[in-house]
Amino acid sequence: MQEIITIKPHHFIDIIKLYGAGITVFVPDEIMGHNFYKIGNQILNDKETKLKLTIKEDDICLPCQVFDGKKCTDALSHIPGFTLKNTYNSTLDQRIISILSLDTTTIYTARNLCSLIKEQSSIIFKVWKEEANDITKPRYELFNKGANQYVI
């Protein structure tokens, strides 16, 4: 039986965005020690990968150097009103789930989740509303490029 990967929706969007930027193989981040490379490669290599969404820690976060067993303790300074990545990322994930009417109890395939987000990809501007448009616009464009390649 295939393992179900628990993933934050913004991490999934980041994987597809990076795929749109031309990354087809993720490499380990030896400094942070997280599983972004492992989960990213699984999703890129198997579009039927089963995913369960969360706003808490996911399978990418668990081995990370700044994960304290409960939350991400990495500092954040460029987004007004947010001092920890954990709080900001949870806010992003809550927005994605709410706006797209996704569910944290449903199991999605990677292809299906990508299609669902792609259909309403303009939500990226609502989700990352604290960030400047010169950052959000490339995220939107690269996600769409990656999603178009991925769902074929």
pLDDT of residue 2: 65
75-130: pLDDT as tens digits: 888 888 888 889 999 999 999 999 999 999 999 999 999 999 999 999 999 999 99
The count of structural domains within the chain is 1
Residue 121 belongs to what domain range?
Answer: 4-150
Q: Name the amino acid, one letter, at 54.
A: T
Model pTM score: 0.95
Q: Name the amino acid, one letter, at 71.
A: K
18-64: pLDDT as tens digits: 999 999 999 988 888 789 999 999 999 999 999 999 999 999 988 78
Cα end-to-end distance, the chain, whole Å: 25
Residue 150 has pLDDT above 90, yes or no: yes
What contacts 24, CB < 8 A, 6 or more positions away? 44
